[in-house]
Chain A
Amino acid sequence: MRKIDKSLMLATRYKKWLDTLNEKNEKHTIYNSSNGKYYYDIVANLIWVQAGLCAYSERLLQEHSRFDPGNWTNGGFPRFQFSGQLDHYDATLKEQYGWSWDNFFVIDADINVKLKRTNIPTGLLKPDMPHYNPRVYLEYERTHHVFVPNRDLEFPVQEQVRKDISCLGINFQPIIDIRKYYLEPLFFDVEYQVRSRTQVQNHLYQFFTAFDLVADRL
């Protein structure tokens, strides 16, 4: 999970509407997925700031160049084909604050796991939080290609991170297989000097954190 900077607001129509609601301290209109007026504005904005990656798994979802700030009109973006999902980081906020920008991420449809509906993540692994740094919280276990809590954390914090890993679905089976299939040939190249780490990094387009965490040890 890379750190994500969501401060660049391109969906200004949506932002204006949201700010008005918040100023008046009004409840959000019911979250109704892609039928929402600003749904595609929000998704387009997130794809841009997430560089086309799933916010949690870092799988490449979509080429993000088309969402360049120069392609927006009056703070909006036209409807487009989209295979991922707009996720509420804390699903319990969905009912009352369903359109909250802070709670939104674009993620791979495959990792929107059932666990997330009932478990509330602690916030330790919320990728847009100022404290968040993947190297502090995560390790990558290459044998099974899973993220695990960083061993340097206090044991109780490790437990919290483990639960968040589960809750966010970053070790969901289909993603593990895709990640392994993508990364293993690259690890091999770096380990046996077929290509330098920099050469591989220059062509990397997904799973950056997992690559970095393993490449450090190669």
Chain B
Amino acid sequence: MKVRSITIPELHHFKDLHLDLTYPAGHPKAGKALDKVCIIGQSGTGKTTLLKLISAISYNGYSYSEIGSMDQICQVSLDFEFEDFIVSKFIDFDDESDPEKKIVSSYWNDFYRNGEEIEFESIESKWEAYLDAIKPTSIFFPADLDYKLEVEHDSLLDLQELKNIDFSSYSAANTWTIILNEIQKYQEEEIKIRQEISHIAEKATDIKAIQKAVKKLEKWRHETPSPVQGIADKCLDPLLKNFGLRVKTKLDFQGKDDIGFLKIEDFSGNEVPNGLLSTGTKQVMLSALPLYLLQPSKCQILYDEPERSLYPDLQRTIIDYYQSLTTDCQFFFSTHSPIIASSFEPWEIVELKFDKNWNIYRDLYYEGENHVENYFVDPRYLDYDLILKKIFDLADTSTDMRTEAIVELTMLKNQIDTLKEKGQLKTPKAKEIVTRYKVLAQKLAWKTE
């Protein structure tokens, strides 16, 4: 189920805001909901509020109170598409329940199929079956993700049982429960085969019997990779290698309670204590691992400031990477990073701005009809300097010193050319100018053209 549009009549700085979140005409997916959305804007323009609204109205109604009063939130509606249906949804207090308890319910405005309005009853069963089949339906990663890696086995949540996963309410390390049992079973199986080998070795006089038992262990290992090996190969090692680290795949615990959380080691095999892992490493682990282990499909995934603590090289790859861990999910990212924004098509960017009355509006990147041909800004064609200027509206990206150096360098080059024409390049004056030119050009990284 993907969000096609959001309509906010009035909420904080939002007034009569309508966000179209579908691909424009001329796009291969024209008219379909966007696969990923990048929300950018000055601090205070409501990026995080928008993420929370989407989460609350989609599936997570009980969390509305973080956003505002129900009087305002009940006016906000989201259009969704699932299969070939389009539905409009809002949340409000259940008017049949006890007013004191204030139970939040979902309400449906309109249903469409192939552009024709239809009755809810005609698709109710399909709708319920659809929702039942999806678990989780939404995953929210807040900007202030809990970086705690220590897990207490008694209080771990079973995230696979939750419809809505909100990591602002509990640690992403809870994802570890998903693999805990698998690791224990794996370890028990290995111990069992090892015991068999020991047993044979005690009794057997035939070396071939021992070799056969050892081969059995090797075959089992080959055919049954460690659950941690999968995390290492398919999820975390491609990212951790940027920090000179990898997942420790060798399991050396005695019982379930001894498993703890994922262990990280350097390339020499030295285990790195959790307390010494950088925030960037933890950010990578705790933002990617849940997607790998939960294997979300047709789910909404919301990241607030995914760039946190990540060096630019990782920021450049992280969006595609998150998508690669999921199936047919819709992603929402709120970011201040031009590097993150460069991963998006222009229609996938929602830039929020204040108008002169301090109300929020969306800065459109097209003129006339919403058609791919009418977009005049496309981050995929811009370098980071231009993304800062054209997307993030930064007027001045180069320093004044650089510009002045360019002027000086051009002047010096002209002087050298003049001296060359006059055959005076060997004079002390020429040498002085050439030296000055080279020193300055080096400071400009020879980016002089």
Contacts and interface: CB of A to CB of B under 8 A. Distances in A.
The size bracket of the interface on A is 20 to 34
A173 B396 contact: yes
B400 A148 contact: no
B398 interface: yes
Contact of A146 (B396, B403, B418): B403
Contacts of B408: 162
Interface stretch (B137-145, B217-225, B409-417): B409-417
B411 A158 contact: yes
A155 B436 CA distance: 14
Nearest to B417: A151
B400 A162 contact: no
A165 interface: yes
Given A162-B407, A165-B407, A166-B404, A143 B449 contact: yes
A141 interface: yes
B404 A171 contact: yes
Contacts of B418: 151
Interface string B234-270: 0000000000000000000000000000000000000
Contacts, number: 55
A57 to B, nearest CB: 13
Contacts of B389: 177
A171 B397 contact: no
Contact of B411 (A115, A144, A162, A174): A162
B129 interface: no
Given A143-B449, A174-B395, A177-B389, A151 B414 contact: yes
Contacts of A151: 411, 414-415, 417-418
B425 interface: no
B398 A148 contact: no
Interface in B349-402: 389, 395-398, 400
Interface in A169-186: 171-174, 176-177
B151 interface: no
B118 interface: no
Given A143-B449, A151-B415, A151-B418, A173 B410 contact: no
A148 B395 contact: no
Interface in A19-51: none
A149 interface: yes
A93 interface: no
A141 B413 CA distance: 12
A158 to B, nearest CB: 6
B25 interface: no
B406 interface: yes
Contacts of A173: 395-398, 400, 403
A165 B407 CA distance: 9
Contacts of A171: 403-404, 407
B407 A146 contact: yes
Interface in A99-126: 110, 113, 115
A146 B411 contact: no
Given A166-B404, A176-B403, A148 B410 contact: yes
Contacts of B397: 173
A147 B407 CA distance: 7
Interface centre among B403, B404, B449 (most CB of A within 10 A): B403
Contacts of A176: 403
Contacts of A110: 395
A177 B403 CA distance: 12
Contacts of B414: 139, 148-149, 151, 158
B404 A141 contact: no
Interface string A151-168: 100010011001001100
B406 A146 contact: yes
Nearest to B404: A166
Contacts of B403: 144, 146, 171-173, 176
Nearest to B398: A173
Nearest to A178: B395
Contacts of A144: 403, 406, 410
A45 to B, nearest CB: 30
Q: Which 4 A-B pairs have the closest CB atoms?
A: A151-B414, A174-B395, A173-B396, A148-B410
26 contacts: A110-B395, A115-B400, A139-B414, A141-B407, A141-B410, A143-B449, A144-B403, A146-B403, A149-B411, A149-B414, A151-B415, A155-B415, A158-B415, A159-B411, A162-B407, A171-B404, A171-B407, A172-B396, A172-B400, A172-B403, A173-B395, A173-B396, A173-B397, A173-B400, A173-B403, A177-B395
